[in-house]
Amino acid sequence: MLTVSAYRLHLGLYGRFQPDNFTAVPVADFLRALLRQLRGHVILLRDQGSIHRGPAIAAVQQAYPRLPIEEVPAYAPELNPVEQLWNDVKGHTANSLPRHKRDLRRSLQSNTRRVRRSPGKVRSFMRASALPSLP
């Protein structure tokens, strides 16, 4: 996700993992928690997935006008920077065999921390997408 302030562009990686499939309600909860942590405008890039739509998401949009939402076209993974993140995570977890769900969760959390500690890597994910160039 992108966070934008009036004076500079700040890229950040924020995530949440859960044992079940996501629906719009947990996504809305995540967005509310994120917006409580971040100041200024937060631009949300979202794909056409159903978990990013519906009344729960509309309520967040209405409650937080500082959350503009930009749509990524359907079936355009080359425009979605999160695809670069997943490619990176897959590269770091290749040839591993998690024995339990908790092992997989720990691996995902560890990889998220690794990427989060490298702002240059997050920026590279944005640059590797076919989105317009960053300033």
Count of CB atoms situated within 10 Å of the CB of 1: 18
Q: How many domains does the chain have?
A: 1
pLDDT, tens digit, 9 for 90 and up, residues 8-33: 466 778 888 888 888 999 999 999 99
Q: Residue 113 domain-assigned? A: yes
Q: Residue 95 domain-assigned? A: yes
Domain CATH number, residue 20? 3.30.420.10
What is the residue range of 88's domain? 2-128
pLDDT score recorded for residue 133: 63
For the chain, percent of residues with pLDDT exceeding 70: 90
For 43, the token pair is 């631009």
pLDDT score recorded for residue 10: 67
pTM (2 d.p.): 0.77
pLDDT score recorded for residue 134: 57
Sheet holding 9-11, edge to edge: 9-11, 2-4, 41-46, 69-71
Q: What number is the average pLDDT over the span 47-65?
A: 91
Q: How many helices (H) and strands (E) does the chain have?
A: 5, 4
Q: Residue 133 domain-assigned? A: no
Q: Please measure the distance between the N-terminal and C-terminal CA atoms of the chain and give it in whole angstroms.
A: 16
